[in-house]
Amino acid sequence: MQHPVVSREEWIAVRKALLAKEKLLTRQRDQLAAERRNLPWVKVDKPYVFAGPDGNETLADLFDGRSQLIIQHFMFGPDWEEGCVGCSFGADHVDSARQHFEHRDLSFAAVSRTSIAKIEAFKRRMGWTFKWVSSLDSDFNYDFGVSFTKEQLAKSKVVYNYVPIESQMEDLSGISAFYKDEAGAIFHTYSTYGRGDELLSTAYAYLDLAPKGRDEENLPFPSAWWRHHDKYEDERLKAKEQGR
């Protein structure tokens, strides 16, 4: 890494100039969050039912007595043997945050289009404790734009993140937010897809503060370094054996 080395006084002057831009971005982010909260809502009338470890659960059940719910649309197709590595990267950040946001009237659940047996096995392997249910016998994934039928994929494009894209994937990722009022009515308030959920990954936030940043420029694609967290150790051992 080649960087100019300057005096402390010179560094402070440059740092303060950057701080002004950081403060502007913080204010813009606050404004954007307010606009997000002020979006109109859509009432959810379809009676979605999911398979959980203790039996069927409705969408209302996932609120767990709270008025707000975040759902992670976790990529895990019926024929897959393990969950998506990128969705797992995101899920690794949930449990530590969950112990705090649950005290602010917010529940969390992951939803995947595979069997509850596969979900439970992978969840144990990863050591996660958040609620995770199966939408295998539900329209939920399709209605919220993260799963696609073979007929849809046979066409040239599918609609994902609100625009037509080319894809051969039956399942993609996303985040959706819901509100339940005192009468029990449920409303869809927000969904985001693609890089829209990146702000939830604090590992990236830490990397963005470090000298090398995300260090992804020479990778075949930016997230090529992601692994299931129980596979990083294997890579370190392999590198040692190869003398790297």
Place of tokens 């075949």: 220
H/E element holding 141? Answer: helix 140-143
Let me know if residue 163 belongs to a domain. Answer: yes
Q: Please give the model's pTM, rounded to 2 decimal places.
A: 0.91
**Residue 171 located in a structural domain:** yes
| 151 inside domain | yes
Domain of residue 54 covers: 42-200
pLDDT, tens digit, 9 for 90 and up, residues 94-137: 999 999 999 999 999 999 999 999 999 999 999 999 999 999 99
**C-alpha–C-alpha distance, residues 228 and 86, integer Å:** 8
Residue 162 placed within a domain = yes
Q: Which residues does the chain have with pLDDT short of 70? A: 234-244
Q: What is the pLDDT of residue 233?
A: 74
Residue 5 lies in a domain: no
Residue 123 sits in a domain whose CATH number is 3.40.30.10
180 lies in some domain = yes
> For residue 238, is it within any domain?
no
Long-range contacts of 135-143 (CB under 8 A, 24+ apart): 135/48, 135/50, 135/111, 136/51, 136/78, 137/49, 137/51, 138/48, 138/49, 138/50, 139/46, 139/48, 140/48, 140/50, 140/59, 140/111, 141/73, 141/111, 141/113, 141/171, 143/46
Dist. CA 187–CA 57, nearest whole Å: 17
Q: 164 lies in a domain?
A: yes
Overall number of domains in the chain:
1
CA 176 from centroid of its chain's CA atoms: 9
